[in-house]
Structures are given as C-alpha cells and as structure tokens.
Chain A
Amino acid sequence: MRKKKLYHQFACSSLILPEHRARLAQHHQKKAREACRGETSLAAADEQQQEQFQRLAEQSLSRQLPLKVTVREGGSCRTITGVIIEQQSLSGKIRLQSGECIITVAVTAIIYLEPAF
C-alpha cells in the first residue's frame, strides 16, 4: 500500500487549502456543465485526448482498471464508475460493470474518461 507513494509523490505532498479545493471543484463542475451544454462529445476531443481515452479504455478492458465515465444524457451529464467488460464494435457501445449492475453506454455519448481512485 505504501508503494503508492512511488507513483503519487506529488499527490501525497500537494498542499491545497480546503477553500481552494472547493473552488477548484466548482471550477471543474462549471467546465463539465459547459461541456454538456456545448454538446461536447468524445468526437470533439482533440486527437491527443482521444488517444489518452483510448488507452484508458484498453487498460480498463484488459486490466480491469476502474474508470469514471462521464456520459451525456439529454441536456445533462451522468458519471458512471465502473470497469469496461465488453466492447461492442458493431453497435458502437461499451458495457460497464458498475457494482452489481451492467450498464451499456454508446461511445458517442461519452464526454470524458478518467481513472477512478
């Protein structure tokens, strides 16, 4: 468990005031809302970000890396935390194991992918 420090030495030593943390969280939420309103989707992400998302998705599928997947639903966003268990290339969907549930998500509806810690 302490080996985590080798991979997160800056996360471990980061010094952020609670008030700063709260404002950063608000800032990120605002950005996410703007992304939703602007109907942003994976297709709008730049090439480099797409590559990063692809890498995360592959790691999740092959090595059960838990992901936080932000999906556009109508005018709002929904975040699902889970592991990708299947990629349906023909229908353009992925299946996520989130707790006990299995959720199917259209790849075009995905806005953002990040590792879930």
Chain B
Amino acid sequence: MEKQRQAILLADAESFYASVEITHNPSLRGKPVAVCGDPALRHGLVLAASKEAKAYGVKTGQPAWECRRLCPGVIFVRPHMNRYLESALEMTRIFEQFTDRVVPYSIDEHFLDLSGCERLWGTPHEAARRILRQVWDETGIRCRIGLGENPLQAKMACDRFAKKRVDGFFELNSTNYAAHVWSLPIGNLFGVGPRMKDHFNRMAVRTIGDLARLPREIPTRRWGVNGLLLWLNAHGIDYSTLQPGTLAPQKGVGHCATLPRDYASRQEIEAVLLELTEEACFRARTLGKMGTTVHVYCRGADFDHPSGFSRQKKLPEPASAATEVYPVAQQLFRRHWDGRPVRAVGLNLSGLTDRRCYQLSLFNHREITNSLSAAMDEIRERFGPTALFRAASLTSGGQLFTRANMIGGHEK
C-alpha cells in the first residue's frame, strides 16, 4: 500500500500590517502605504509596506526618510498592534474551519496540516484556493500559500515562489524540490542568515544545490547539528512535527527597550533596567515560573564605534520577584558598562523552573515577597501596568508610561 503523502501548507499574509490598516481605512486601497513608527521615538522604520509602495522600492526595515525619498507620495500610517493581533486570531479561526491542525508560526504565518482531508476539501491545491478565497472574503487580506510534504518544503514554496506568483500558490514536493530550489542562491535557504551565507561562500558554496551536493559530513563536522540541519534543508528533508494547540514551552522571558534618546547617566539607564526587571518578573509569575539566570544586554549609541555588552549571571536561587532579580541585574550592568551612551537596554530571565517548588531559606522572606508580588500583579492586571509603579519611573529616564502603550515595541 502506498504511504499517504503529507500535505502541509504555510499561509502567509501579504504585507500584513499594511493590509490590516487598509481594511480599516478602505480609502487607502490601491495607494502606496507604509506602516511606520514614530521617528521622534526612534521607531521610524518601515514595519510593512503595501504592494504599491513596494513597487517604488520601499522595503520593510527602511528608515522613514529613505522610504519618502523612494516614494514621495507614500502615506505613512502609525502601527496599531492590537488590530494586528485581532486580525491574526481571526485568520487562525478561519484556518481552523479547514483543519484542526493549525500552528501559528508568527503573527502573519500559519502552518496547516491538511493531510487526509481530500474528501472534505478536494486536493491540497483546491483546498488552498478555497482558503485564499475565504481569508480574502472575510478579512480583506490577501494570503499566499506554499504547499509541501513537510513544513520546510511548505515554507520554501511560500517564501521563494508563491509570493512571486499572481495566484499566490506554489507546491514543492520531494520530486520537484531539487529542480526548483537547487539553483537558488544559498542565502535563500531557510535557516541561512547573512553570516552563514558568507561562511558558505568562503567554502565556494554559492547555491542551495552546491550545499546539497556536499557530503553531509562536511557541514556536520563544521557546525554540528546546525550544519546537518542545513544540509537536510537543502535536500528538502525535514523531521519537524506540527503540534496543534500547543505552543513551544517558553525557555525565558525578557524585554528590550530602544531608548527615545541616548542615555548617558547611570541613574537613567538603571531606571529602565528596573522597569524591564519588573516586566520580566511579572511575566514569569504569570507563567507560574521563576528564573535561574538573569541576562543583561546593552547596546551603545555610536554606530561607528559599536559598544555595549551582553552578560549573564546565575541567581543565588531561582526568583521571580524584582527585588531579588534586580540587584543581580544592576551588578551586571555596573560591572560591564563602559560609561558610554546607551541606545538600547534588554533584560532576560532564563532557566525557568516551577514557581511552586523552591528551597526554603532561613534568611530571606520568600513568603512575604511572594504575597507582595501576587498583590502587585492583581492590581496591575485589574487596573493596568501603570496603576502601581516604582518611583524611578517618574524620573527623567523612566519609560514605563511610554511602554505601557506598546506591544512588541510598537504602538498598541
């Protein structure tokens, strides 16, 4: 009996943020639109551009001024993260009407496993067309779909081919993978970033086919499991499994803040560090976790002379209260900061363990700290993150009130 082929789809929304803005303001349809943060707050990068703006050469990640230079008639729209999250969830609900095996991969990408659904929706190609039509009808957002026998093939089909096609659909399978993919530059392979591309180029590996033709021992010996993974990707082989309804367990919680101006004073930077510690600890407690390692990151303001540091330290014992985490973060900062102005600060709490199990200590008042944290969490959940805050947030460096209106670093 022939083994049934898997039918994995990757659905990707076209210029997602820009498309959502257009559905909320239909007068923007057909015009060059760029979703862009506030340049005054150093968030003046293009987050998404409509296809009309892209036709002028506007790309995601470009500064607003460059976007304006390329496309003088561009219409800038501020981001609305809540809208995007709502639309993403709406798309998830639509996909779940076709299969219960839906796995969100990012805010605008979903994997769908349609294996064995032929009797319900016809061939995967027919199902994909239906999905594209339904998403368009119900949300006004255009999707592109890549079909493959595994998630990798679906991702490659979508990113490298479906996005360039008028019908927004492309299929890769083990029979046609080499014919379509091997001629592409190595940088187009999933998992190969700019630095890896340089490494491969130095090995005279310029196309995906060049990598596929190498003996697998060469990348494996050089980069271990990562090298093997890329070699398998070059062959279209992927052992990933999609687990619907479950999100990969979080390994850490953290936050990073790009500052509205360069901070040069220790007090100002430490005020932000304290706020980030509070946020990370709050999230850890919400997950019922404590962190065992704190990681502090600082990026210098001078692009020509890159400075900053990224250092971590193990906590004396797992903690989820800012009063316990912050002294370690502060110590890391004071030890490694070179005194030069800072543009971005980040803090991460990793090595998460269950919050209910902890070592009792004779000298610290864990029960009192926990009760205090629980009371603070309750107040913030009920009245918002600015209902209860540290006095440091009222100083010139404090960013709490700005950050309270943001999701993922962009306006709510």
Partners in one complex: yes
Find chain B residues with CB under 8 A from A2 CB: 224-225
B248's contact among A12, A23, A28, A112, by CB below 8 Å, is which?
Answer: A12
B380 to chain A, nearest CB (A): 14
| Cβ-neighbour of B246 out of A17, A23, A48, A114 (below 8 A) | A114
Q: Please give, as numbers and ranges, the residues of chain B lying within 8 Å of A31 by CB-CB distance.
A: 245
Asked if A6 meets B92 with Cβ closer than 8 Å, knowing A11-B248, A16-B106, A17-B408, the reply is no
Residue B45 CB within 8 A of the other chain: no
- Contact indicator A6/B229 (Cβ below 8 Å): yes
One of B106, B238, B253 near A15 (C-beta < 8 A): B106
Residue of A at shortest CB range from B82?
Answer: A19
Given known contacts A9-B240, A11-B240, A25 and B225 CB-to-CB distance under 8 angstroms:
no
* B283: Cβ under 8 A from any A Cβ: yes
A residues within 8 A CB of B249?
Answer: 117
- The binding surface of chain B is classed by DSSP as mixed
Residues of B within 8 A of A117 (CB): 243, 246, 248-249
Q: CB of B100 within 8 A of chain A?
A: yes
- B245 adjacent to A114 (CB under 8 Å): yes
Given A16-B106, A20-B107, A23-B89, CB of A7 within 8 Å of CB of B241: yes
Q: Shortest Cβ distance from B27 into chain A, in angstroms?
A: 28
B56 contacts partner chain A, Cβ-Cβ < 8 Å: no
Interface residue B178 (Cβ < 8 Å from any Cβ of A): no
Residues of A within 8 A of B151 (CB): 10
- Which residues of A sit under 8 angstroms from B246, Cβ to Cβ? 114, 117
- C-beta contact mask, B99-113 vs A, less than 8 Å → 1, else 0? 010011111000100
For chains A and B in complex, what number of residue pairs have CB atoms within 8 angstroms? 85
- List A1-50 residues whose CB lies under 8 Å from chain B: 2-3, 5-21, 23-25, 27-28, 31, 48-49
A17 and B225 form a contact (CB under 8 A): no
A31 to B89, CA, bound (A): 13
What separation, in Å, do the CA atoms of A26 and B147 have in the docked complex? 29
Q: Does B81 contact A (CB under 8 A)?
A: yes
Does B166 sit at the interface, judged by CB under 8 A? no
Q: Is B240 within 8 A of A19, CB to CB? A: no
**B379 interface residue per 8 A CB criterion:** no
Q: Which residue of B lies closest to A5 (CB)?
A: B225
- Give the chain B neighbours of A114 by CB distance below 8 A: 243, 245-246
Which B138-170 residues have a C-beta within 8 angstroms of A? Answer: 151-152, 155
For window 102-145 of B, CB contacts with A under 8 Å fall at 103-107, 111, 116-117
Is B363's beta carbon under 8 Å from chain A?
A: no
Shortest Cβ distance from A85 into chain B, in angstroms? Answer: 23
Cβ A7 vs Cβ B239 within 8 A: yes
Q: Does B35 sit within 8 A of A, measured CB to CB? A: no
A24 — which chain B residues lie within 8 A by C-beta?
A: 89, 92, 104, 247
